[in-house]
A and B are shown apart, each in its own frame.
Chain A
């Protein structure tokens, strides 16, 4: 519903409100552009694309986790190509070293001094493909980069370019030769996207679309860096009413108090849910967050951070189910 017929209340300053409405209108328009562009490559899966756009809008990192061959890397590459940002792809393999990611100081014999050779992490958008195939040592080199947007090489700390987003993919089925991501790293991913197999109709469309050439090669950027930074700023202005904020906090805390959970969602998860709910609201053209935004994002934002008790797992519970139970348990802020 448009916000016609209503004006800003005492909580929302009247001179800022029209600007905010205009700002969320811009976010919506740019978001739709992005989604349409990515949809030229990815068939169906609008929810997954929308979540990826939400993560980009709030500078979050995305973990695309799914079975092989369903388009994880394609989704990440399509999002990357749609944004006019510097892009680097890192294929994570067991022999990948931290210096292959962050960069290395090498001795320039001509100049007679050490020079820093920047690694692929020095880009706006990183595609960390098959991230769980690298050793924990290499995985850990991303911890500082993902959280603090900086890297430290040989005691020298360097800031990463802004915006900085990691799009990682992993295959949860294969265990041979893989190294599960530690909880500290999982917690740094804002969202986990898992879209599963396409329907029969979608598979048919995929065959047709990729019959002659890959549409990915024809994809043009639709949002540039400056515009993206502006859009991220607009998303931070979206109003979160106090009761919705409390609801969000109660949801996060309820995951810690759930009897089947060994490790609940962290305060960082709460921050992520807060920021992504704002971005989702702006993407929907709303200047305020509703509880439905929080509920819709609770699964993608919270589930991958939970560690479910062994006994609960034996009873058939899993992370997604825990989040559903928590959503059923925590009262929504209504009258």
Chain B
């Protein structure tokens, strides 16, 4: 599966727009839903007394995501970002672990080791591993662009994970609480996000816009229906909501406790003597049966119908996409020589292919770094790496420009972007030219730059960064 946004421009459109922020929010909700599914599933495997610790794990994702985006927008160095991230992550993990077993029980309680039961140990491992995974994912995805392709890739990643979790749940026997809510939130945020991303792609363009394709339109419609389904499911089965809100309620409890304790320290006024009254003894009144203002018994069947119908539609559409990709693939294998088929942007087949390519790149990188330790044989690999460096520098350059309020538009070419960015960094015309021209040579001319040229590009990039260091997003407008 391709991770969201192979094109590494955070945002894609000028950040700060309502649709852009909404899309980020839906993306976070999408990710949190399947991460929550993993956490809920693990919690069901190792049941424990409280959920606040696991709830904190879920909150680590948006924390890492937003912190990393903030770091990108402000041009933090990786050391600073790592420092802040580690501090926040460790704080959250410490809070989660302290919720699992209070400090006092660590020393005095019975059980495993110094007062920890085996169950608590398992849960603490879950908290630490899950927290680290969630944190890293949030930090990693903050660097990727959330556009239609990114949203679709994130949706498919989540769908595969959810299928795995559902499969494991089916093997285990009983569904854990909150399952339906997780799926409903996942589908609603994912499909709503897809629709919004498509809308954003076409909204900013001048003139008459082409209408959305039937697939996106259908997905968006089903997404909207599913949002209603999600609301119903959260009302009926509140496990996910409880999980997410548990840390907040825990904080609220601590605050109430603190206030109660502080109030207990205040001097207490003497109670006023009450006058004696001789009243006849009354029998205690039986409590009246509580009546709900609204009869909610119809909610569950309605929610189930909506949810099941929408889920089946989604599954059918996913199956259709898979078959379409498969047919394209087979046609490519058996069809006319020379005929080219368009790659579908959000197909599973492409995702699998990209995943395979990514794994190969990772394996190659590990081979280079760990086994060869940079002693790569002379020739092709050496020069390829130089080309990759130039492209990597240009990716940083695009991201840097986006963080300063000048994201590269999808239809923009490197030369157009260079002209667009020039007013932002006056006095760096030669550096911009060098970076752009070298990138164009490598990207479109398949040229392999000499190491000297790559060094010059690196130096130019550093000068551009230092010259534009004072410029922040929106400064130009002021």
Which A residues fall within an 8 A CB radius of B? 1, 3, 5-12, 239, 241, 243-244, 249, 257-260, 286-292, 295, 312, 315, 317, 321, 324-325, 327-335
Contact = CB atoms under 8 A, between A and B. Distances in A.
A7 B438 CA distance: 12
Contacts of A334: 7, 398, 408, 412-414, 417, 443
Interface in B419-446: 433-434, 437-438, 440-446
B350 to A, nearest CB: 14
Contacts, number: 118
Nearest to B213: A257
B275 interface: no
A292 B411 contact: no
Q: What's the interface size class on B, roughly? A: 35 or more
Interface string B394-421: 1100100000000010111111110000
B394 A6 contact: no
Sorted from nearest, which 3 A-B pairs have the closest CB atoms? A1-B437, A5-B453, A6-B447
B446 A241 contact: yes
Contact of B416 (A11, A288, A292, A331): A292
B448 A5 contact: no
B411 A329 contact: yes
Given A260-B208, A321-B207, A334-B7, A241 B416 contact: no
B270 interface: no
Contact of A8 (B410, B446, B450): B446
A166 B105 CA distance: 93
What does DSSP make chain A's interface, helix, strand, loop or mixed?
loop
A241 B443 contact: yes
A328 B206 contact: yes
A1 B211 CA distance: 41
A201 B412 CA distance: 33
Interface string B353-372: 00000000000000000000
A331 B440 CA distance: 16
A236 to B, nearest CB: 17
Contacts of A3: 441, 445, 447
Given A1-B437, A286-B445, A332-B413, A9 B208 contact: no
A118 B205 CA distance: 53
A239 B445 contact: yes
A335 B205 CA distance: 21
Contacts of B408: 334
A279 to B, nearest CB: 16
Contacts of B117: none
A335 B394 contact: yes
B208 A331 contact: no
A289 B440 CA distance: 10
A5 B445 contact: no
Contacts of B206: 325, 328
Interface in B23-38: none
A235 to B, nearest CB: 16
A5 B7 contact: no
Contacts of B441: 1, 3, 6
Contacts of B458: none
A289 B208 contact: no
A312 B208 contact: yes
Nearest to A294: B413
Given A312-B208, A332-B411, A335-B7, A288 B446 contact: yes
Nearest to B442: A6
Nearest to B399: A335
B411 A287 contact: no
Contacts of A244: 444
Contacts of B387: 9
Contacts of A289: 444
Contact of B411 (A259, A331, A335): A331
Nearest to B441: A6
A327 B8 CA distance: 21
14 contacts: A1-B437, A5-B456, A6-B442, A9-B384, A9-B446, A249-B340, A290-B414, A291-B413, A312-B208, A329-B210, A332-B411, A332-B412, A335-B395, A335-B443
A212 B7 CA distance: 60
Contact of B205 (A1, A260, A329): A329
A292 B415 contact: yes
B380 interface: yes
B452 interface: yes
Contacts of A332: 410-413
B391 interface: yes
B145 to A, nearest CB: 11
A8 B205 contact: no
Contacts of B380: 10
Given A291-B413, A292-B413, A8 B444 contact: no
B449 interface: yes
B445 A287 contact: yes
Nearest to B149: A331
Given A292-B415, A332-B410, A334-B413, A259 B208 contact: yes
Nearest to B340: A249
Given A6-B447, A289-B444, A335-B395, A325 B452 contact: no
Contacts of B157: none
A6 B453 contact: yes
Contact of B448 (A8, A257, A317, A329): A8
B380 to A, nearest CB: 6
A335 B445 contact: no
A203 B255 CA distance: 83
B71 to A, nearest CB: 21
